[in-house]
Amino acid sequence: MLLIHCPWCGARDEAEFRYGGQAHVDRPPDPNAVDDREWGEYLFVRDNPRGRFSERWVHSAGCRRWFDVVRDTATNEMSAEVPSRSGRR
């Protein structure tokens, strides 16, 4: 089990969290201006690196806040957690 550092509550078990996928995926400002291919990529296509990956987590069984972490997908090492810039506090 991963021990995840919530920026508000500190270290808690992974079971208290839900995964929110890749961080910093911005919604196209005008969805009508993009074609189907671009919209499809926004909806479905995500990076899948081996190594450092910015992703979102929510402390669903705790303070219920979203935050971003950088996780190494090869080692599960997590760092640089800051309150999420793209979600609610």
CB 32 within 8 A of CB 57: no
- Residue 63 within binding range of another protein, rule CB under 8 A: yes
CB of 25 to another protein, least distance (A): 24
Rounded to whole angstroms, how far apart are CA atoms 68 and 77? 14
- Residue 87 touches another protein, criterion: CB under 8 A: no
User: Closest distance between another protein and the C-beta of residue 12, in Å?
Assistant: 7
Helix (H) or strand (E) holding 41: helix 36-44
Write out the binding residues for another protein, residues 2-31 only, by CB under 8 A.
8-10, 12-13, 15-16
Q: Decide if 18 contacts 65 (C-beta within 8 A).
A: no
* List of residues contacting another protein (CB under 8 A): 8-10, 12-13, 15-16, 61-65, 89
